[in-house]
Amino acid sequence: MRVDEVMTAAVLVGHGELDALRIRHDVPVPRPGSGELLVRVRAAAVNNTDIWTRHGAYGLPGQPDALAGWRGAVSFPRIQGGDIVGTIAAVGSEVTGDRMGRRVLVDPALYRDESPQAPPVGLLGSEADGGFAQYVVVQAAQAHDMTDSPLSDEELACLPVAYGTAMGMLERVGLRDRETVLVTGASGGVGLALVQLAAARGATVLALTSRAKADQVSAAGAAHVLARDDNDLAARVRSLSPAGLAVVADVAGGPVLEQLLPLLADDGRWVIAGAVAGPVVSFDLRRLYSHNRRLIGSSMHTREHFAELVEIARTGLIRPRIAGRHPLTEMHQAQRQFLEGQHVGKILVRC
Ligand SMILES: NC(=O)c1ccc[n+]([C@@H]2O[C@H](COP(=O)([O-])OP(=O)(O)OC[C@H]3O[C@@H](n4cnc5c(N)ncnc54)[C@H](OP(=O)(O)O)[C@@H]3O)[C@@H](O)[C@H]2O)c1
């Protein structure tokens, strides 16, 4: 494959609004080093983290309003995009040439160490350049062959961040067959992934979302869909799960935590990975310890979790829902659609 000298990319030049994101056609194509690959990106998906990183919305310890990425300071210019599907266009030293041209799904995590359970300490698109570009350099070991997957490039691109995060949450919380799980933010990228993955495990899914999106969330596998503005939410949950919820898989946070924590069963588990409804909350600690409930923070996935996702991607067990498609040069429009919040499923960028 002929590799160009320069490429088109959406380049983030600093924290800010959409004007901090510049479409450039003169970005040098990166070169793969030892153990690395150059991927010609075919599709990438938009995630909430792209927006929060652009806004610098993650705060710092003791400074919730400080401008920062999820791991602290972000180095600019930065090419965002943690969801990458493409074909191998060049290989660095220590990588065999027979991988050239293969279709790959990239695990975007930068791990603390080499172990299968290592936690992520960075993300392509945040701590290193990502996939909102025609080319990206990735670790060869993190480019998973998808030649035989029945999923399209666009479907595969929905998986890494949203489904990886959802897989990490379900594994860390140990969701089992026939348990009842409440999913918040269920129409979003991570939320819909939680609904699909939990239902595929045989769990009963109660999904919390806005009323207009109930049908699509139900179609993804939720047994019951609850409106998040329902004044009687606690009573509704209690009637659907009289013995108490085994698990809450939460990406929203905010007031719902205090409201629904008492509805967890004894020994119930609450796993949290996001804070779209508010990052700073108060709740009664007595409702946690007196029932041996567990509150678990979850950041992305491990190599082990991602390997499970790769298997699902290869078999086509789950088909992600696509809510919009845009060319890379219309990244601003893709992010506007994301921010409007009317969609259910993932918004794709064709590179
Ligand atoms: N920990 C990690 O590793 C990790 C990884 C990825 C994402 N995240 C975080 O997880 C969260 C969700 O990410 P995402 O990519 O799935 O975002 P998303 O696609 O925007 O989905 C968020 C969903 O939350 C719902 N929502 C919006 N405002 C809400 C509110 N005030 N109260 C309750 N629900 C609300 C919306 O659905 P309805 O309007 O239908 O309710 C929306 O679909 C974000 O905080 C993101 O930063 C964390």
CB 183 within 8 A of CB 191: yes
Are residues 35 and 144 located together in one domain of the fold? yes
Are residues 140 and 14 located together in one domain of the fold? yes
Look at residues 93, 166, 120, 94 and name the one whose alpha carbon lies nearest to residue 320. 166
Q: Token pair 């993932």 is at which residue?
A: 346
Residue 306 lies in a domain: no
Are residues 187 and 262 located together in one domain of the fold? yes
Residue 257 lies in a domain: yes
Q: Which CATH number goes with the domain that contains 107? A: 3.90.180.10
pLDDT digits (tens, 9 = 90+) for 74-113: 999 999 999 999 999 999 999 999 999 999 999 999 999 9
CA distances to 116, 161, 178, 205 from 223, rounded to whole Å, are 33, 25, 12, 5
Q: How far apart are CA 173 and CA 247, in angstroms?
A: 8
Are residues 50 and 25 located together in one domain of the fold? yes
Residue 310 lies in a domain: no
Q: How confident is the model at residue 4 (pLDDT cuts 50, 70, 90)?
A: confident
Tally of domains in the chain? 2
Is 251 a pocket residue for ligand 1 (Cβ < 6 Å)? yes
Q: Is the dihedral of CA 70, 322, 218, 313 positive or negative?
A: negative
CA of 196 to the centre of ligand 1 (A): 16
CB 321 within 8 A of CB 18: no
Are residues 133 and 201 located together in one domain of the fold? no
Q: Give yes or no for residue 226 having a pLDDT over 80.
A: yes
Range of the domain at 248: 163-297
Q: Give yes or no for residue 60 having a pLDDT over 90.
A: yes
pLDDT at 324: 97
Is 161 a pocket residue for ligand 1 (Cβ < 6 Å)? yes
Are residues 169 and 141 located together in one domain of the fold? no
Residue 62 CB: number of other CB atoms within 10 A? 6
Are residues 211 and 96 located together in one domain of the fold? no
Residue 291 lies in a domain: yes
Residue 307 lies in a domain: no
Ligand 1 mutation pick, 182, 276, 300, max ligand atoms within 8 A of CB: 276
Q: Give yes or no for residue 1 having a pLDDT over 80.
A: no
Are residues 129 and 48 located together in one domain of the fold? yes
pLDDT at 319: 95
Are residues 69 and 170 located together in one domain of the fold? no
Q: Give yes or no for residue 34 having a pLDDT over 90.
A: yes
Residue 314 lies in a domain: no
CA distances to 25, 154, 257 from 267, rounded to whole Å, are 54, 39, 16
Q: Which CATH number goes with the domain that contains 264? A: 3.40.50.720
Q: How confident is the model at residue 39 (pLDDT cuts 50, 70, 90)?
A: very high
Are residues 148 and 184 located together in one domain of the fold? no
Query: To which H or E segment does residue 235 belong?
Result: helix 233-240
Is 275 a pocket residue for ligand 1 (Cβ < 6 Å)? yes
Q: How far apart are CA 343 and CA 212, in angstroms?
A: 10
CB 285 within 8 A of CB 309: no
Residue 1 lies in a domain: no
Ligand 1 mutation pick, 46, 48, 126, max ligand atoms within 8 A of CB: 48
Q: 305-343 burial string, b = 16+ CB within 10 Å, else e?
A: bbebbbebbbeeebebbbbbebebebbeebbebbeeeeb
Collect all residues with Cβ–Cβ distance below 8 Å to 182 and sequence separation of at least 6.
205, 206, 207, 208, 237, 241, 245, 247, 248, 249, 260
Look at residues 334, 329, 314 and name the one whose alpha carbon lies nearest to residue 156. 314
pLDDT at 289: 97
Q: How far apart are CA 143 and CA 303, in angstroms?
A: 12
Residue 313 lies in a domain: no
pLDDT at 3: 82
The residue with greater pLDDT, 339 or 3, is 339
Residue range 187-205: average pLDDT? 97
Residue range 248-259: average pLDDT? 96
Are residues 183 and 147 located together in one domain of the fold? no
Q: How far apart are CA 12 and CA 153, in angstroms?
A: 24
Q: How far apart are CA 191 and CA 250, in angstroms?
A: 8
Are residues 93 and 10 located together in one domain of the fold? yes
Q: How far apart are CA 351 and CA 131, in angstroms?
A: 8
- Whole-model pTM? 0.96
